[in-house]
Structure 1
Amino acid sequence: MTTKKTKEESEGITAYSVKTKTKNVPMVDPVIDIKSGRYIATGKDKDGNKMAAILGKAKAEEHVKAGNAKKGSGWE
């Protein structure tokens, strides 16, 4: 049985870039931290602008398992 991957799973974590005002910008080398029970992915875009995205627990664990992101602080 083949499972269909979503756009986010195949490309990694995407976020909104405040500086360039564009949506779905891929993060380069994201790190997922757990702060106050929330999963926050932080990274940079291809131009070096800082970005952040809030994820659910399931999505955060999927990205770490797939190798799209690294575990940061707060993980057990």
Structure 2
Amino acid sequence: MANANGGGITAYSVKTKTKNVPMLDATIDVKSGRYIATGKDADGNKMSAILSKASAEDHISKGNAKKGQGW
């Protein structure tokens, strides 16, 4: 689950099995009515997280992420 910890988007890293890993270069896409944040962690591993509409719009307005496809 995505979190707004420290202002940025954080998610679970499947590869390293750690929670609340900060997501770098986040892009939020809308697919089938779901808001999906995709980005990378500090090691370059791909990450993704599903957000609510309010959370997605909040991260975009704060500059933590940019709009992707589907808006």
Scaled by the length of structure 1, the TM-score of the pair is: 0.87
The DSSP-based 3-state class of the residue aligned with 1:65 is: helix
The whole-number CA distance in structure 1 between the counterparts of 2:59 and 2:5 is 7
Which residue is 1:18 aligned to? 14
Does the CA-based 8 Å contact 1:44-1:50 persist in structure 2?
Answer: yes
Note the C-alpha offset of 1:25: 0.2
The DSSP-based 3-state class of the residue aligned with 2:6 is: helix
Report Cα offsets for 1:17-70 as digits up to 9, x if no partner.
000000000000100000000000000000000000000000000000000000
Which residue is 1:67 aligned to? 63
Note the C-alpha offset of 1:12: 0.5
More strand by share: 2
Does the CA-based 8 Å contact 1:33-1:40 persist in structure 2?
Answer: yes
Note the C-alpha offset of 1:11: 3.0
Note the C-alpha offset of 1:9: 5.6
The whole-number CA distance in structure 1 between the counterparts of 2:53 and 2:38 is 15
RMSD: 1.3
The whole-number CA distance in structure 1 between the counterparts of 2:57 and 2:51 is 10
Report how many aligned residue pairs link the two structures.
Answer: 69
Bigger Cα Rg: 1
Letter in 2 for 1:62: D
Scaled by the length of structure 2, the TM-score of the pair is: 0.92
